Amino acid sequence: MFYDHQQIEKKWQKYWEDNQTYKTSNNTDKPKFYVLDMFPYPSGAGLHVGHPLGYIASDIYARYKRHQGFNVLHPVGYDSFGLPAEQYAIQTGTHPAITTEQNITRYEQQLRKIGFSFDWSREVRTSDASYYKWTQWIFIELFNSWYNKDTDQAASIETLIKHFEEKGTEGVNANQNEELNFTAEEWKSASEIDKEDILLNYRLSFRAETTVNWCPALGTVLANDEIKDGKSERGGFPVFQKKMMQWSMRISAYSERLLQGLKTLDWPQPLKDSQEYWIGKSQGAQVRFLVDEQEANNQQATANNSIEVFTTRPDTIFGATFMVLAPENPLVENITTAEQKAEVDSYIEETSKKTERDRMADVKNVSGAFTGSYAINPFSGEKMPIYISDYVLMGYGTGAVMAVPAHDERDHRFAKKFNLEIKKVVENDEDVQEKSFDSKDSVCVNSGFLNGLNYNEAKSKIIAEIENKGIGHGTTNYRQRDAIFSRQRYWGEPVPIYYKEGMPYTLPTSALPLELPEVEKYLPTEDGDPPLGNAKTFAWDEANQKVVETDLIDNKTVFPLELSTMPGWAGSSWYFLRYMDPNNDEVFAKKELSDYWGQVDLYIGGSEHATGHLLYSRFWNMFLKDRGYINQDEPFQKLINQGMILGMSAFVYRIEGTNQFVSKNLINEHKTQAIHVDVSLLKGTSDELDTVAFKAWRPDYADAEFILEDGKYITGREVEKMSKSKYNVVNPDDICEEYGADGLRLYEMFLGPLEQSKPWNTQGLSGVYGFLKKFWNLHFNGEVFEVSDEEPTKAEYKVLHSLIKKVVYDIENFSFNTSVSSFMIAVNELQKLKCNKRNILEPLAVVISPYAPHICEELWSLMGKKESIEYVRFPILDEKYLEEDEIEYPISINGKTKFKISLSAQLSPKEVESLVLQNEKMEQILEGKTPKKIIVVPKRIVNIVI
C-alpha cells in the first residue's frame, strides 16, 4: 500500500490543531513535567535543518512523558527583539515590528510542518507589549530592591530606607557601588535628590558611570559575551572602551549563589565549568603597604599614603620585591616623583589606547614606568620600588599588586625587563598560575615565621598575622562584573524610567507597559541620543501619569523618559515563567501556577548561551525567589546542549581569469579557484552539478563553460558550519515535502548522538524513509489494511519487548539515535516473521510515536482507535518475553572450552549437570573417569575439572 506521507501529515496536523491535542491544562492531578527549548530569534532566513535538532529531541521526550502519564508543559515562543530586524529597518525603512511579524509567521509554518507537540496557545513574544510589560515590571522590582548580605538575599529598598532612618549606615551590610557613611540624622536632613543619589548606590538596577564596550558601527554598547576576539559577535565590527553613564544590574551580588547553585544542577560539566570560570572566585587577602614617605617627594605624599593590593598568594609575601599599580589607579598621581612624571604621564597616555581585553591578551610584551616612589614590605621590611604597568587592571581587585617575580609569570617577565630583584620563597611551587594551586608539597623558605609550612598552612597563618597587624584581611574576589543593561538601540524594551533633576524615577507599575514609540528614523539623533530621541511622543506627564508629546517637556510637570532600551537578554531572562501563565494581565505568573510547574525539568539548547542567557536567567530567577514571587532558586534542573549540524558545502573550480569551470577530479591540470555553490544546485543527493541551473543562478555564470569528467561536472564537498553565507543550508521544508516530517525527525535523530556536532548528509534519508514504508506495510496485505487478532507467538513478543526495553533506556538516557536503529531492526524482524498481529502492532505504534507521530496516529486510527495515540500509556516491559528458551552452554574442561551444548533454559543446575555428563563428547573426554568437580553457572557456563 502506498505510504502517502504528505496526505497523512497534513491530516494529523489539522487534527491536532482542531482538537487542541497538545493544549496543556493547569488543573490535573497528574504529576507535572516541564520540557523547554531555548526559544528562537525569528531571523529572516527561516529555519534550516540545524535548528530543529534540539526541538525534535525535546519533542520526543515530551511525548514520551505524556505516554507515561505526566502533565507535560512543552511551549514555544519567540525572542523577538534584536539587532537584525533593526539593521534591516535602518537599511530599508521597514518597521522592525513588520519584519519580525513576517519572520514569526514563517517560523510558525515551518515548525508546525515538523509536527511538534507544542502548546501553541501559550506562545509568547518578547516584543509584544503584553509580554514586555512584565519585563519592565521586573526591572522596576530590581530598582526597588537592594542586596542584604546578612540575610544573603534581595530585599525591598523600603527596608533599607527604614534602616537609614533609624541608624544611618551603621550595621548595613549591602552589596553596593561604594561604601558610604552617614548617620540617621544626616539621612533625614538630606534633600530628596541626595537621598535618591544615595539609594542608587544600593539598588539592584542602578545607573553608574562605567567603562563599556562601545561599538560605533552598531551604535551601541555590548556585553562581554556579545564580543568575540575584540569584534562584535553580530556583524564583526570593532569594539572600543568608553566611559558612559549606563544602567547596570547588580549580578555581582549573586556571584556566590550562582556558583553554589551549580552544584545542584544536572548540566553538562563544560557548561558548569565555563560559568564557574566566568564568575571567577579567588580567595586571598587584601593587604596595605605603606609608601616610604622620604622617597615620595611629591607635595601630597604623606605617611598616610598606602597601597592596597589583592593577592591570592599571601604565602609569598616575603618574596614581594616591587609593587605594580594599574596606570589608571588614582594613587599614581600622589606618588609619582617630579623626575618620573613625564615618563609616567606618557605611559598612561599610551595605555589609554588599549582595551582591557588587549591588555589581558598581550602577555609577551611587558611594559611599564617607574613612579620614583617606594613602598615597604610589612614582613621583610625591604624597600620595594613602585611601578605602573598595563598588565594590572583597574577594574579587578584593588588595581594594584605586590609583585612576586619568583612565583608569578607576569611579575617575572616584568622583573627581567626592569632588572628587579627575584627572590624565591616557596619550594615545589611549579604551577603558580594555576588557579587551583593547592600543593600540599609546597614548602615556604626565606619566609621568616612561615618557613617549613605548606601552602594552606602558610596562607592561614599569614592572613591571621595580616589581620593581627591591622594591615588587611582575608577576602574573596569575583571576576564577574555587574551586567550593563542599556542599549542605544530602537528595537528593544523601553526602560520605564523618567528623569527629574537628573535623577531617575520609575514609572508607576499601573502605567505599564511603557510602549515603544514610533520613530521616523532608526538611527541616533543629531545630538548623539539613541534612536528613541527621534520620537515625537515620548515624555512623561507626572501628574496625569501618561506618555505625552516630547515637545511638552518642561522639567516641571513633564519630564524626559529614558532613551536607551533593554539588552537582548532582558526578555529571555524570565520567559520560562511566562509560559506557566501566558495571558495573565495581573501578574507575570500566578504564584499557584509557578508553584505547580516549578523548575524546568529538561532544557535543551545551544552551548553558546553558557555565560549569557544561562547566567542572567539564573540571576533573575534567584531575585524573583528572594522577593517571594516564585519558589525555587534555580530555573533549569537538567540541561542538554545539542550539537551543531554542519553543512556539506559544495565547490566549483574556476580556472583563474576565465569563466571556465573544471570538474573536481581534473583540477590538478589547472590553476583554479574554489567557489561556493548553492547545494540546491546539485542533482538529487549526488555531488553532480546541475550545470543548467548553475548558469541560471547568477548573471556572471550565464555564459560559464564546463570541463566535464565522464560527461558530468562533479563538485568538491567539504564539511563547514551550516550557514546562508556558505550556501550549504538545507531547508527542512524540502525534506518534509519529500520524506515527510516523520522522515526528517527520525533522520535528524539517526545522524548521531544529540550532544555531538555532525555533518548533514542526505544520503541516509532514503534508508529512514524505507523503514517508514516497511513499518506502514506491516499493516497491509497488498492494498488492504489487515491486522489480525490472533495471539502473537513468543518470537513476536520477544521482538516487541526487546524494543520496549531498548527505547525506554535510550529515551531516559537521551540516546535518541540508537532508538532509531532499534526501530529498524524490530520492523525488519517482524517483517521476516510476517507479523501483523494487533497485540504487537498496537504497542509498537505507541513506542514509535514520539519519534514519528504522524504515521503512528494514522495507523492507530486505522486499527480502529477513536482517540489520539498521544495519551495512550507507554507499553510496559515484560521481562518474561526476553528470556531465552535454549541456552548454549560452553563446556569448559580444566579452564578450556571444549564444546557447546544447547539445553532448555528451564533446567535446574542438577539437570544440566546430568545432561552434560550423558553427552557423547563428554563421555569421550572422560574415558570412564569421574570428574573431580563440576560447577554449573545457570544460563552461562559449565566448568568441569578432571
Q: What x/- string results for residues 666 through 685 when contact with ligand ANZ is judged by CB under 6 A?
A: --------------------
Phi, psi of 386 (to 5 degrees): -105, 125
Which is closer to ligand ANZ, CB of 337 or CB of 460? 460
Site for ligand ANZ in 604-623 (CB under 6 A): none
Which is closer to ligand ANZ, CB of 122 or CB of 407? 407
- Least separation in angstroms between residue 475's CB and ligand ANZ is 11
Distance CA 484, CA 300 (A): 36
Between the two ends of the chain, the Cα-to-Cα distance in Å is 63
Q: What x/- string results for residues 405 through 444 when contact with ligand ANZ is judged by CB under 6 A?
A: --xx-----------------------x--x---------
Q: What x/- string results for residues 238 through 277 when contact with ligand ANZ is judged by CB under 6 A?
A: ----------------------------------------
Distance CA 187, CA 170 (A): 12
Q: Which of 72, 174, 401, 415 binds ligand ANZ (CB under 6 A)?
A: 401
Distance CA 442, CA 875 (A): 60
Q: Which of 241, 282, 802, 815 binds ligand ANZ (CB under 6 A)?
A: 282
Give the burial class of 510: count Cβ atoms within 10 A of its Cβ; 0-12 exposed, 13-18 middle, 19 or more buried: exposed
Which is closer to ligand ANZ, CB of 56 or CB of 444? 444
Stretch that binds ligand ANZ, among 44-52, 242-250, 304-312, 774-782 (CB under 6 A): 304-312
Which is closer to ligand ANZ, CB of 322 or CB of 491? 322
Distance CA 693, CA 684 (A): 13
Which is closer to ligand ANZ, CB of 315 or CB of 581? 315
Which is closer to ligand ANZ, CB of 479 or CB of 939? 479
Stretch that binds ligand ANZ, among 50-58, 208-216, 306-314, 736-744 (CB under 6 A): 306-314
Q: Which of 313, 412, 459, 618 binds ligand ANZ (CB under 6 A)?
A: 313
Stretch that binds ligand ANZ, among 393-401, 412-420, 849-857, 933-941 (CB under 6 A): 393-401
Closest to 454 (Cα-Cα) out of 313, 319, 315, 320: 315
Largest CA distance in the chain: 118
Residue 393 makes contact with ligand ANZ by CB under 6 A: yes
DSSP-based three-state secondary structure for 665: helix
Q: Which of 57, 265, 386, 404 binds ligand ANZ (CB under 6 A)?
A: 404
Q: Which of 176, 220, 311, 868 binds ligand ANZ (CB under 6 A)?
A: 311
Q: 897-916 burial, b for 16+ CB within 10 Å, e for fewer?
A: eeeebebeeebeeeebbebb
Q: 198-236 burial, b for 16+ CB within 10 Å, e for fewer?
A: bbbebbbbbbeebbbbbbeebbbbbbbbbbeeeebbbee
- Least separation in angstroms between residue 347's CB and ligand ANZ is 16
Closest to 820 (Cα-Cα) out of 741, 743, 762, 874: 743
- Least separation in angstroms between residue 634's CB and ligand ANZ is 26
- Least separation in angstroms between residue 422's CB and ligand ANZ is 12
Which is closer to ligand ANZ, CB of 305 or CB of 311? 311
Closest to 402 (Cα-Cα) out of 386, 417, 390: 386
- Least separation in angstroms between residue 408's CB and ligand ANZ is 4
Which is closer to ligand ANZ, CB of 404 or CB of 614? 404
Which is closer to ligand ANZ, CB of 398 or CB of 573? 398
Residue 445 makes contact with ligand ANZ by CB under 6 A: no
Distance CA 291, CA 296 (A): 8
Distance CA 192, CA 181 (A): 18
Closest to 749 (Cα-Cα) out of 55, 271, 266, 72: 55
- Least separation in angstroms between residue 466's CB and ligand ANZ is 13
Q: How many residues does the chain have?
A: 946
Which three-class secondary structure string do you get for 484-540? ECCECCCCCCECCEEEECCEEEECCHHHCCCCCCCCCCCCCCCCCCCHHHHCCCCEE
- Least separation in angstroms between residue 357's CB and ligand ANZ is 13
- Least separation in angstroms between residue 346's CB and ligand ANZ is 21
Residue 396 makes contact with ligand ANZ by CB under 6 A: yes
Distance from CA of residue 525 to its chain's centroid?
Answer: 35
Q: Which of 368, 372, 397, 492 binds ligand ANZ (CB under 6 A)?
A: 397
Distance CA 533, CA 550 (A): 9
Site for ligand ANZ in 317-336 (CB under 6 A): 326
Which is closer to ligand ANZ, CB of 384 or CB of 432? 432
Stretch that binds ligand ANZ, among 1-9, 158-166, 387-395, 773-781 (CB under 6 A): 387-395
Q: Which of 54, 368, 385, 399 binds ligand ANZ (CB under 6 A)?
A: 399
Stretch that binds ligand ANZ, among 309-317, 549-557, 850-858, 876-884 (CB under 6 A): 309-317
Grid coordinates of 201: 548606590
Which is closer to ligand ANZ, CB of 14 or CB of 416? 416
Distance CA 626, CA 631 (A): 9
- Least separation in angstroms between residue 431's CB and ligand ANZ is 10
Angle 191-193-198 (CA atoms, 0-180°, nearest 5)?
95
Cα torsion angle, 539, 543, 545, 549, sign: negative
Amino acid at 96: P
Stretch that binds ligand ANZ, among 307-315, 586-594, 721-729, 883-891 (CB under 6 A): 307-315
Phi, psi of 662 (to 5 degrees): -105, 140
Stretch that binds ligand ANZ, among 25-33, 390-398, 838-846, 917-925 (CB under 6 A): 390-398
Grid coordinates of 84: 537584525
Grid coordinates of 93: 525603512
Question: Per the annotation, does 423 bind a ligand?
Answer: no
Grid coordinates of 926: 572422560
Count the site residues for ligand ANZ by CB under 6 A.
21
- Least separation in angstroms between residue 379's CB and ligand ANZ is 13
CB 160 within 8 A of CB 115: no
Residue ranges in contact with ligand ANZ by CB under 6 A:
282, 310-313, 316, 326, 391-393, 396-397, 399, 401-402, 404, 407-408, 432, 435, 477
Could you list the residues known to form a binding site, using ranges.
Answer: 724
Could you list the residues known to form a binding site for ATP, using ranges.
Answer: 724
